[in-house]
Each structure stands twice: as C-alpha cells, then as structure tokens.
Amino acid sequence: MSFLDAESAVLWGADTAGESVESAPAPSHLALAVGNEGAGLSSSVRASAKRLVSLPISGVVESLNVSVATGILLYLLRKE
C-alpha cells in the first residue's frame, strides 16, 4: 500500500459489521475502501483497514446501493 504510506493516509473500510461512522472523527488523511454490493470488501483490504465503519440504517432496510452508501459516508466524513 505504497500510496497510503506516501500520503500518510489511514485506510478505513466500509462494512455492515463495522462501527458507526459517527462514532469517531476521521483522520486528516483518510482513504475509504468500499466493496461491491454482493461480496463487500476483499479479505486483503479488510485485513489492511485500520477501522471498519458502517452507516446507521433503519432495521427495515437491509442494505444500500454501494454508490449511495459511499456518498453518504463521504458526506459524514467530510472535514468542516
């Protein structure tokens, strides 16, 4: 993961089993990995991620489209 090292970035992964994205502030240099809608993150990305985060969603909703979930995650992680 030379890009992460070169940019001093921390890798987080989006995963339904992760902690709520609202529970901790994002580091100033963050890389966010999202998986595909069927299989999610690869095992290698999951193992490399420093934290797994998820979106708090209603119990009625099973999951969100990956592009929608990514947009919401990026909005919640933005620096103000």
Residue 56 sits at φ, ψ, to 5 deg, of -75, 120
Q: Which residue has the higher pLDDT, 62 or 53?
A: 53
Residue 29's Cβ-count burial label (10 Å; 0-12, 13-18, 19+) is: exposed
* Secondary structure E strands in the chain: 10-20, 30-33, 51-54
Predicted TM-score (pTM) of the model is 0.85
Does domain 2-77 correspond to CATH entry 3.40.50.300? no
Give percent above pLDDT 90 in the chain: 51
Residue 17 pLDDT class (50, 70, 90 cuts):
confident
